[in-house]
Amino acid sequence: MARPDDRPLRRLPQLTPHKATLERCVFCPKLCRSACPVSNAEPRETLTPWGKMSMAYFVANESVPLAPSFAEPAWACTGCFGCREHCDHDNDVTGTLFAARSALVDAGEAPSAARRVLERFAESSSALGKIAADPRVASSVDANARVAVLVGCEHARRGTEGGVDTVRAVARLTGGKVALVDVCCGAPLLYAGDHARFVQEGERLAKALAGRERVVVGDAGCAAALRVHHPAAGVTMPAPVEHFSELAAREVGRLGRVDGALGDGPVRWHDPCQLGRGLGVYEAPRQVLSRALGRAPDEFERRREDGRCSGAGGLLPLTMPDVARGIGEQRVADHDRSGGGTIVTACASSMRSFQKSGAKVVDLATVVMRALDAADASAPPRAAPTERDET
Ligand code: SF4
Ligand code: SF4
């Protein structure tokens, strides 16, 4: 019988470009196992990064049958990049498992929750239109504005304060009105397992952004889709893409102090996986919070590159709801152990996960709006216009 690494990936040939990446995990002593939020919450060997990559590999090279028990581990991943930080090879488990999902969907083996996301994508992504109709953003929006804002479907669907404040704060920070992007970043298609439609959605988005000076993205997951996952799939955006925290950090001098506006007690920053490990943005939100609070924000014990996932990414709340809930509860317990208070994040899915576990959470954009209002309130009153001013 041929050695496993001599066997072609005949059943899932789409994974052939990822064969070396899969084999790095398959033949590895699992150095990253302690980093995975999924196998930490549900301690099963199959759910470690090694287990998920091995299952995809052995299905692909026909060592095991094409069956739910071997296919579904590919969806047991939040896409948090945590394993990569602990891997001597920087192995791309996240991208490879997303590719495996797509190959498995093509082969007809996917969890029902993922299939439902694919069936309902057009309907769920139409939520972006809701934010444009929200009267709270009406005075900040102009369809012809040079700066575009992509709020994110999760914010738009729920009509969150964070989504509304993202639009209003970007308009204030850029000194004009903003155009709202009503095309989804396509991340749900990537996570559910339709790579071809993910690319199509990226191309549609690129077309919608043509001619803009830049696009500011509110949700960390959408920002990673535009800056990491679409370029990896060969789609580049026609305008620079920045996360909201990067814009706010550049304009940090315009922020006032939000004394007491977030309540008493600690104000703790949670590094969203897609913003931190995904985009390498760690300093910008801390600069913004330091200015708004007048002191450095409180921190989780595990933070920055070692920050812990909320459990809300990669469709895990749909494919493994109990495990996702367990991970969110662990993070809120970490927060409580460190002194509780308010969590600030820039990921709409993480916010929802923490709120479900009983934590008080605000989006970074809400802190920035309050800090802009505080700066306005403390500005010296303008002198009354003189006759000469009026001429
Ligand atoms: S990600 Fe790296 S450390 Fe983890 S199993 Fe794969 S090769 Fe090993
Ligand atoms: S990306 Fe995160 S959830 Fe996925 S296998 Fe790695 S550590 Fe686990």
Residues 87 and 130 in one domain: no
Residues 80 and 144 in one domain: no
Pocket of ligand 1 (CB under 6 A): 24-25, 28, 30-32, 49-50, 83, 87, 89, 91, 93
Domain-embedded: residue 307: yes
237 alpha carbon – ligand 1 mean position (Å): 31
For the chain, the maximum distance between any two Cα atoms, rounded to a whole number of angstroms, is: 95
Residues 161 and 265 in one domain: yes
Choosing from 81, 110, 139, the residue where a domain stops is: 110
Domain-embedded: residue 383: no
Domain extent, residue 347, equals 125-376
Residues 65 and 201 in one domain: no
CATH label of the domain that carries residue 34: 1.20.1270
pLDDT tens digits, residue range 208-232? 999 999 999 999 999 999 999 999 9
pLDDT of residue 262: 84
Domain-embedded: residue 384: no
Structural domains counted in the chain: 2
Query: What Rg, from alpha-carbon coordinates, does the chain have?
Result: 22
Atom of ligand 1 nearest to the CA of 25: 6
What are the angstrom distances between the C-alpha of 162 and each of 96, 103, 170, 361? Answer: 32, 36, 12, 10
pLDDT tens digits, residue range 5-50? 678 999 999 999 999 999 999 999 898 999 999 999 999 999 999 9
Confidence of residue 390 (pLDDT cuts 50, 70, 90): very low
pLDDT tens digits, residue range 138-183? 999 999 999 999 999 999 999 999 999 999 999 999 999 999 999 9
Using a 6 Å cutoff on CB, does residue 37 contact ligand 2?
A: yes
> Cβ distance 53 to 93 under 8 Å?
yes
**Segment (H or E) for 195:** helix 195-209
Residues 95 and 155 in one domain: no
Domain-embedded: residue 115: no
* Percentage with pLDDT > 70 across the chain: 96
- Section 227-254 average pLDDT: 97
Residues 99 and 129 in one domain: no
First-to-last C-alpha distance (Å) of the chain: 92
Q: How far apart are CA 2 and CA 281, in angstroms?
A: 45
Nearest to 258 by CA among 123, 174, 165, 328: 165
Q: Would the pTM count as exceeding 0.85?
A: yes
Choosing from 83, 110, 137, the residue where a domain stops is: 110
Residues 248 and 314 in one domain: yes
Residues 304 and 367 in one domain: yes
Domain-embedded: residue 391: no
Confidence of residue 132 (pLDDT cuts 50, 70, 90): confident
